[in-house]
Structure 1
Amino acid sequence: MRRLKTRSVAVVLAAVGVLAAGCTNAPPPEPGQQPAEDAPVSLPGEGVPQVTPQPTEMTRLGDDIAVHGTVEVIVDPIADQPTIDLATQVLRMAGASEVLVRQPGQRSPEADLRIRIGGRNSPMIVKGLQAMHYGAPANMDPESYVLAASGGEDPALIIGAGDPAGVYYGVQTLRQIASPGRIAGVGVLDEPAMPNRGAIEGFYGPPWTHQERMDQLAFYGDMKLNTYIYAPKDDPYHREQWDQPYPPEKLAEVQELIGQAQRHHVRFTYALSPGNSICYSDPAHFQALLAKLQVMYDSGVRDFSLPLDDISYTSWNCSGDQQAYGAPSEEAAGRAQADLLNRVQHEFVDTHPGSTPLQFVPTEYSDVEDSGYKTAIREVLDPRVLVMWTGDGVIPPRITVEDARKAEQVWGRKLFLWDNYPVNDFDGSAGRLLLGPYAKRQNGLSEQLTGAVVNPMNQAAASKVVEIGAADFAWNDEKFDPKRASRAAAEYLAGDRFAGGEPGLTADPKTADALLVFFDLNHMAPLASGSPWQDPAPELARRLESFRAGWQNGTRDQALEDLRRYARAIADAPEQIRRGAAADFVADSEPWLTATDRWGDALLATVDGLRARTDGEEGAARDAFQRAEEAADRAGALQADPTQVRPEGPIMLADGVLDTFVRRAPSTLT
């Protein structure tokens, strides 16, 4: 893909104007600081607001634009109605009393501000950018856009793109540079690093509700994610009854999801998983498969996937396959699957206008070793088919560029990443809410992958924490910073959101800080074995280590004061989150919020006991330690609700860090 950073047209900057009040994020104050990672958090440049996903290039262009009175939005046909509606909503929330939408050539002499939105090469966009002395490529790749905003005596705001999705993404960026009363005076040149970015609903256990799926699709639009793969294991017509038509009421639900995806520029990818019962050589089965895909095509779907994961190739489903491909083996399974996929690509996808290349999840999806199965796929499968891969392991501790290169060699093509994080449907994740950052995915993977989707948790709203990081990575992995992405997730859930609950242009900082404390307590991310690939509660662990050092070196008063401040932040975080965060996130997180309440009380009581001990009041210390033990026992008794998550188990929160300190401190800190 051509990258904007290599463009030959120079960006000519206006004089640097006043800072964008209300738009620039500052580092979070103590005690709710970001969980520690290897690299420091990257912050925007002077006067430049934070935008997520992080743009390819953003710079201060001029003064902020004051928003008030009548705003006129001149749009050409490239902007669809959802884009116009979003722009109107943003401008009203920013302070416009009236928003007038006009076509090029129409003008209102009474407008206080005019905004132009259209194709990059339309006359009004070309002239507008020239007048602002802002250069941008004339030919822009799909989903790319340019935004130029500058206030002063003659304020102007221009959004230009090469396709409707790019225009929509430009307006999503407008949403993030707007604050009450103003729009930041910045120039943005932006394009995605990966062409396919999003989520695959492919987990086991309690399914998302229809409303949660609708909300997720709107949220993907907010985050410039363009792919949703519909593969819910709870849908029998996706897997067990793949060859049966949907009942009318179920089909109507799926069609509503398809329409929601289209409104938010998300490609609804319909996945059909026939591997447990299909007879590859049976013409009737092939026709049943095509009939199922045809219904989805007629409903508006243009993206299709055939997952053949989690099946066996030690036996055939019919005697005809034995005759056609020989005895069951990994190589025979590969040839049979490749033949099926090629027929679907050639006889369905190629004959249905607008369809994108077929997607496929192989039976061997989680390693970089060659095999007879991979050899058959490599030699037989149409090179256009997108092959999905989970990294080197079903749940890998990291995903590197070298891993992806090795996988490309054995598959004979660049791969589409199915990232099994933050999914929590396996035994090693029992009792956990996975809110750690999207991390240990190497910068540069965008050059090696055809795209990336994450497999979320049973808890849809809580999955947004990692989904925001994944969106940031897939859009601009070159500048990706896990800490910055986690902060962005906290701010989104704390009020700076459109899809998740009531809309807003600014986040509540107290709620965002409380969420960061909560994210840290739920930072641990397990491998299939249950051992961590992201450590539990690194920020709390750092503070406890600092406390122990102070206790040992004689600065006990200061150490106790510092630890009590953070213990209070833990104890207060749940109520602040319940008051200020998105309601669906609170509902998803309630068992872990309750655990945080109790562990916060336990930590506060432990600090009180240590304070009493330093003051020589051993009786008061014993009483405080007893309160801490009782609170810890109440926390440990909490169980995950099996109707909400699979697998269920005791609620896990900062285990090995918080519980260890509370239970050992009375006997080890004397």
Structure 2
Amino acid sequence: MKSFIMSFMLLVLSCSFSFAQINNQARILYRPLVFPEPVSLQLKKGEFLMTPTVTLVKNKLSPEIEELIIAALNKAGVNDINYAKNLPDHLDHTYIVVGSKSEETIQAALDKVNTGVESRKEAYTLASASIDDGSLVTLAGSDENGLFYAAQTFSQLVMQEAISNLVIQDYPAMPIRGTIEGFYGKPWSMESRKAHLEFLGSVKANTYVYSPKDDPYARDQWREAYPKETLEELAALVETSEKNHVNFVYAISPGPTICFSNSGDLEALKTKFEKLYAIGVRDFYVALDDIEYTKWNCDQDEAYYGESGTTAAGIAQSELLNKLQQILDKMDPKISPLIMVPTEYYNASESDYKNALIANLNPKIVIQWTGTDVVPPSISNQDASKATKAFGRKTLLWDNYPVNDFGQTIGRLLLAPYRYREAGLSKELSGILSNPMNQEMPSRVAVTGVSSFAWNDKAYDPDIIWHIAAQNLANGDKRATDALLMFFDTQHLAPTFGSQPWQEQAPVLKAILDNIRKVLAFGDPDSKEIEINSLKKYANKFYQSPNIIRAVVDPVFIDEAEPWLVAMEIWGKALILTAEGLEAANSGNKNCQVYFLKAKELAKEASEVLSIPGATRFDGKIKIADGVLDVFIEEAPNLIYCP
């Protein structure tokens, strides 16, 4: 009997082992989703699970990169981490090798998988392989930034069910990627800026321009020194930037009052830059946008440059900027080139002003440009090529999306994907900076797209990145991700300065409601019942979405988006009642009118919800899927006979 039991157990174990092997052999390996899309991702045969104990092999490694890797491992359930300086001859568990491509340990690890690292700035290679009785993950950077981005990609990969054997070789298409806090209205708080800098690092963006229009010491009172407390706050932001491998760019806007020929004003700018250099700022910017440039601010300029006008303005501005560049070069020969935004920033046409500016401007100074308009519906390679000609160099795109500080954005969050920027712009531009909304966390939806496009414009997919942005805000929660995408759809409209938006409102909801109209007009009784039922289910999800979002998403996002969530909830109730009215009418129930009337009452209530006073430049009534949802609720009683 005992021998029978032993034989039976061996048979079970044998079958179990064979079954596991078959499962392993039959398992289909899928290409892991990494964002931004890497330049190259080669999937190899096989995969592995991270072992409970991991050895981190490192020599010189910055604290922020080590912390990022450890946090990723902890999140993936690995808490037992050993340290070593070299790889052993035989691998018996998971080893993670991290460092610069010049290190011997890194070269040895890369040789094991027959790969290397590109010599470009910010490039990295991430290789994972099943070796011996263990596994090897190599994170190699061409520089510190590249290594930081390798760690960011590793953070994404370890959250997969298993780690595929693969080789990723990656680098950015554009050297400058990020945001410019350049909107009008309520500026971000220092806490929001810090959070935004951490977010930028996570999406492989490398630039943040501090240019709030309401900072008096950067615009109206630019000659005056910052108070000690403010300077300390800016120093803290610079420190956060450095930890997240983001260049903190300080922008000053002297244009409204500067006297270009006055040596005292030049000295004031020099003093301001020196004070900021002392707290760690290494990137500077002069904003000459939104100013009067056909009149001098002082009689001295007229005496020095002659009669005011666009040509004279171009000459005066270029001379000032050249002197500032010389000051910066003397301050630090390794300092980044000065960035400027010209007074004519909004088109690619040649002009007297632009001709005078570029004829005299130091060629190393970077020029920003907003595209073919202040808020352009699209930007093509041809547009950017024209801008290169007009400004005498590749331009840095100031993309006014998702900024919501102009009249056409009243009552809106701008949450559509980043679209209609042509693949190939990386050859025509020096980079892209998004001008975000007054609401920092909702801005991340579009900025995730901007950063991903600037990293790899040729492989950019706006819909995938839109979904990833929702997933990130939802902390990976599927229900919250779906709820956010439903919410984003109600804020899909992207206006321009004109009457025509460059992205339509609520395309997903519109397709559903258009289909209902079609089925009610042409469908048979069964299909009408099915579609009305589907509408009821959708309406209930729509109504529930705000509370799902509130339960999972960061409280800061909730605070910034709360009026829209409140309005969406009320509109959701109105849509449920409208669907119930259609259902009642379809079955001949006379109560259909009661449903429709109540729905209209709720629609009116929802349309009266107001934005948070002072949160944006213009206050107003909240808009939810306007032109789509409100129209359907209004016309629904006429789509079917209600006795």
Give your verdict on TM over 0.5. Answer: yes
Correspondence 1:593 to 2:565: yes
1:346-378 Cα offsets, whole Å, 9 max, x none, are 232354133111100000000111111000012
Aligned match of 2:13: none
Which whole-Å CA distance do the structure 2 matches of 1:591 and 1:575 have between them? 13
1:485-517 Cα offsets, whole Å, 9 max, x none, are 10010110010xxxxxxxxxxx11111111111
Aligned match of 2:387: 407
Say if 1:18 and 1:62, in contact at 8 Å, map to a contact too.
Answer: no
Aligned match of 1:504: none
Which whole-Å CA distance do the structure 2 matches of 1:337 and 1:635 have between them? 50
Query: Which of 441, 448, 452 is the equivalent residue of 1:468?
Result: 448
Query: Which of 439, 450, 453 is the equivalent residue of 2:419?
Result: 439
Say if 1:20 and 1:185, in contact at 8 Å, map to a contact too.
Answer: no
Amino acid at match of 1:54: E
Secondary structure of 1:343's match? Answer: helix
- TM score, norm. by length of structure 1: 0.89
Say if 1:338 and 1:380, in contact at 8 Å, map to a contact too.
Answer: yes
Query: Which of 260, 284, 303 is the equivalent residue of 2:240?
Result: 260
Say if 1:144 and 1:161, in contact at 8 Å, map to a contact too.
Answer: yes
Aligned match of 1:157: 137
Q: How does 1:4-403 map to 2 (within 5 A)?
A: 46-77=29-60, 79-102=61-84, 104-105=85-86, 112-133=93-114, 135-137=115-117, 139-151=118-130, 153-179=133-159, 182-403=162-383
Amino acid at match of 2:55: E
Amino acid at match of 1:429: T
Cα 1:180/1:187, change in 2 over 3 Å: closer
Which whole-Å CA distance do the structure 2 matches of 1:20 and 1:492 have between them? 31
Amino acid at match of 2:246: V
- TM score, norm. by length of structure 2: 0.93
Residue 582 (structure 1) shift: 2.2
Secondary structure of 2:442's match? Answer: coil
Correspondence 1:565 to 2:537: yes
Say if 2:178 and 2:433, in contact at 8 Å, map to a contact too.
Answer: yes
Amino acid at match of 1:229: V
Residue 610 (structure 1) shift: 0.8
Which whole-Å CA distance do the structure 1 matches of 2:152 and 2:196 have between them? 16
Aligned match of 2:554: 582
Secondary structure of 2:441's match? Answer: coil
Amino acid at match of 2:287: P
Which whole-Å CA distance do the structure 2 matches of 1:413 and 1:659 have between them? 48
Aligned match of 1:13: none
Say if 1:20 and 1:64, in contact at 8 Å, map to a contact too.
Answer: no
Say if 1:205 and 1:458, in contact at 8 Å, map to a contact too.
Answer: yes
Q: How many pairs does the alignment contain? A: 615
Residue 183 (structure 1) shift: 3.5
Q: Work out which structure has the larger RCO, using CA pairs closer than 8 Å and 6 or more positions apart in sequence.
A: 1
1:205-260 Cα offsets, whole Å, 9 max, x none, are 11111100000000001000000000011211111111111100000000000000
- The structure that has the greater radius of gyration is 2
Query: Which of 594, 605, 626 is the equivalent residue of 1:634?
Result: 605
Give % identity.
38
Cα 1:244/1:176, change in 2 over 3 Å: same
Say if 2:86 and 2:105, in contact at 8 Å, map to a contact too.
Answer: no
Which whole-Å CA distance do the structure 2 matches of 1:296 and 1:107 have between them? 48
1:395-416 Cα offsets, whole Å, 9 max, x none, are 0111111111111111111100
Correspondence 1:521 to 2:503: no
Amino acid at match of 1:57: S
Residue 154 (structure 1) shift: 2.8
Which whole-Å CA distance do the structure 2 matches of 1:108 and 1:214 have between them? 44
Residue 59 (structure 1) shift: 2.7
Residue 20 (structure 1) shift: 13
Secondary structure of 1:646's match? Answer: coil
1:133-156 Cα offsets, whole Å, 9 max, x none, are 3x234x521111000012362300
Query: Which of 491, 502, 507 is the equivalent residue of 1:533?
Result: 502
Which whole-Å CA distance do the structure 2 matches of 1:363 and 1:315 have between them? 13
Ranges in structure 2 where 5+ consecutive residues have no aligned partner: 1-22
1:525-563 Cα offsets, whole Å, 9 max, x none, are 111235311000011111111111111112311221222
Say if 1:198 and 1:471, in contact at 8 Å, map to a contact too.
Answer: yes
Aligned match of 2:480: 511
Say if 1:62 and 1:149, in contact at 8 Å, map to a contact too.
Answer: no
Write 1 or 2 for the structure with the bigger share of helix.
Answer: 2
Cα 1:70/1:110, change in 2 over 3 Å: farther
Amino acid at match of 1:531: Q
Say if 1:370 and 1:410, in contact at 8 Å, map to a contact too.
Answer: yes
Aligned match of 1:457: 437
